[in-house]
Amino acid sequence: MLYIAYAIYDRKAHAYNTPFFMQTDGMAVRAFKAAINESDGESSMSTWPEDYTLMRIGTYDNQTGELDKEEPEKLADGNTLVEKKKRDYLTDDWIESVLERYEKKQAEKKGDEE
């Protein structure tokens, strides 16, 4: 079976990470997106997604062992795959509600002063 070879380019290191193999670009993007959105907080890709890019770099035939290099092709930048987490929504909602209450109190205060 013919697999596609991928590697993640690290802009800060100016280097590619260890290649990995998938059957389709979609599967590779999905795996990269999962790494970018890891919630453990220990992954450098989830901490600095803007530093990483998924690249298609070649093909690998698992029956012949042949590995063919291709001109690297960008498939996705890490920062474009970041998903807003539920926690972030809750934080945004909380901030918004605090601001609304503050503005309301300021308006009431201003009305009392007039």
Question: Per residue in 11-68, pLDDT tens?
Answer: 999 999 999 999 999 999 999 999 999 876 678 898 899 999 999 999 999 999 999 9
Measured in whole angstroms, how far is the alpha carbon of residue 80 from the centre of its chain?
Answer: 6
The pair of structure tokens assigned to 71 is 């001109």
Q: How far apart are CA 24 and CA 29, in angstroms?
A: 9
Q: Give the pLDDT of residue 99.
A: 81
Query: How many alpha carbons lie under 13 Å from residue 107 in its C-beta half-sphere?
Result: 6
- Is residue 9 predicted with pLDDT exceeding 90? yes
Sequence spans of domains, the chain: 2-82, 84-114
Q: Give the pLDDT of residue 86.
A: 46
Q: Give the pLDDT of residue 89.
A: 52
The pair of structure tokens assigned to 20 is 């990995």
Supply angle C-alpha 16, 37, 25, rounded to 5: 55
Confirm whether pTM is higher than 0.75. Answer: no
- Is residue 105 predicted with pLDDT exceeding 50? yes
What digits encode the pLDDT tens for the residues 74-102? 999 999 999 876 445 556 666 777 788 88
Amino acid (one-letter) located at 57: I
